[in-house]
Amino acid sequence: MSHASIRQVLEGQRAAPGMALGRVRLLQPRRHAIDDSLLRAEDVAAELERLDLAMARARGELAELRQRLHGALAREAQPFLDTHALILDDPELRAGLDDMIRRGRFRAAAALQAQRDRLVQVFRSMDDPYLRTREDDLQHVIARVLDALEHDGSSEEHRLAARLGEILVAENPSPAEVASMAELGLRGIIASGGSAYSHAAILARSLHLPMLCSVPGADSSLGDGDLVLLDGERGIAIAHPTAQDLGSLRQWQREQAARGRLPPLPAIPAQSRDGESIALYANAELPAEVAEARALGAMGVGLYRTELLYLRKQTLPDEDEQFAALRELLHVLDGAPATLRTLDLGADKAIGTGLDMPAEANPALGVRGVRHALRHPEILRTQLRAMLRAAALGPLRILLPMVTLPEEMAAVRAHALDCLAKLKAAGAQVPDVLPPLGAMVEVPAAALGVRALLAEADFLAIGTNDLAQYVLATDRNLGALSALYDPRHPALLRLIAGVAIAARRANKPLSVCGEIAGDPMAVPLLLALGIRELSMAPTRLAQARAAIEATHCAQLRALVPRLLRAGSRGELEALLCTLGNR
């Protein structure tokens, strides 16, 4: 048995719950470790056999890939697959490898590397530009054979892996990469970096893909094709799992099936111990996710992310396409309200979409959200028209991300009113008046200037994910700083308290739709600060409801002055412990 077949447990941070079994798909495959030591004479025959098996496996992978492709994608990929197959079957390549192993006593991987380097020089010396580009094909083929050599596993493991989907392993995958691979049957994600608050993690939860992040060495210790069991419940990934490991997966699957047979929960507010009502909503981006949220007792959708329509294709979705998606959403909601967030993609997330966004040094602080909308009004107006048409089918609100100034709200409102008037003139079915138009509070300036913002906004939603990273000057996607990224930091809570007080005085709705809304440790803090609407991932609704039912809001309110004076999260938690609110 090779080293690659030995069971290995990797630990990380839980980013999305669930379990999945699949083959590793490295987004950026690791460099191959080449053993330069010479073979003993008695090992030559076995090394030639290893090379035979590796090349046969590489041919099999190409044949399997060819069978999986259909339509235009097959037509585009076929020439490349044919070229790779020809290189694998090239008698001169194989003769050169055999000679190096027999006469030079090279190990198979070292022989492949030496032949690759020699042929690369040949390609680079050619005058024909097209033939020079064939170097890439050679590199890909040699890498495929090297992968087969290094990760040969057991025959039983290969038979099992052949029936499974893929587990994406990368340093920090983008939402676009997750979305595109999800359409191809992605089973789960393991990230060596990132955090549970990253955009990819949020999307993974929406797509019900288990995910681990901050897994040290994941992209270097796992190889393409390795069989891996991803356990998002315990925060571990097991390479080359045993029968006992697979038994835990089957047990989890049985529990999920039993849970799916439970009757849906009523969509009613959660009640605290002293009878205060807290409205629970779901963050979502797929109709199936909305249906699940409703079954788990969500009163509606508190944050509907529209970015997935843009991430799934390389052209911009038109008005009718967006309207069809919103119509399906409102049909699933069956009269329950939805809050629709307009497009919010940074330049780093827009790669491969129809959005023409130049690269930026710091996309988190760049042209995104309402900033992009006002610079590209044609994209904004297309989205607004679709939303206004959908508003005739059910209750909805429109939420603007990355708002900094009241003037941005006023400018979008003017666009929305103009779109509404023109749709009415064209005879489209739209509401008589503009749906409520709200602002995301995720920029510190918006939180500090909230009173002026409330003069233009009909409602507010605090996006604690981005607000925390801006207040703490900590990239929430950077695993190295995950200990500093703390949405329960006292400084952030003081900002939330200020926004809550201003919204209450202006008599305008306020919700929290960041990840802490579903964190049972954070829920008592939010209730203490006066938050009465929470929106979260559907999978967190049950634990948030349980946290609310264990909380006494009146006692928490008496604790607010001390909570706001706290100097650390530990102090906050100690105060809550005195009431049993943890």
Rounded distance between C-alpha atoms, residue 398 and residue 304, angstroms: 10
Q: 3-state SS of 101-116?
A: HHCCCCCHHHHHHHHH
Strands 459-462 and 437-441: parallel
Comparing C-alpha atoms, which of 172, 151, 215 is closest to residue 10? Answer: 215
Please give the backbone phi and psi of residue 62, each rounded to the nearest 5 degrees, phi first.
Answer: -65, -40
Contact indicator for 22, 184 with CB cutoff of 8 Å: no
183: Cα separation from own chain's centroid: 13
Rounded distance between C-alpha atoms, residue 463 and residue 577, angstroms: 26
176: Cα separation from own chain's centroid: 8
Please give the backbone phi and psi of residue 402, each rounded to the nearest 5 degrees, phi first.
Answer: 60, 35
Number of neighbours of residue 425 by Cβ within 10 angstroms: 8
Instruction: Give, to the nearest 10 degrees, the angle between helix 91-102 and helix 108-124.
Output: 130
- Which residues are catalytically annotated? 199, 513
Burial environment of residue 356 by CB neighbours within 10 A (0 to 12, 13 to 18, 19 or more): exposed
C-alpha dihedral, 406 to 412 to 415 to 418, nearest 10°: -60
Number of neighbours of residue 297 by Cβ within 10 angstroms: 20
Rounded distance between C-alpha atoms, residue 350 and residue 379, angstroms: 14
Number of neighbours of residue 494 by Cβ within 10 angstroms: 16
- Alpha helix ranges (H) inside 261-376: 287-295, 308-311, 319-333, 370-375
If phi over 0 gives left and psi between -120 and 50 gives alpha, with beta otherwise, what is residue 208?
A: left
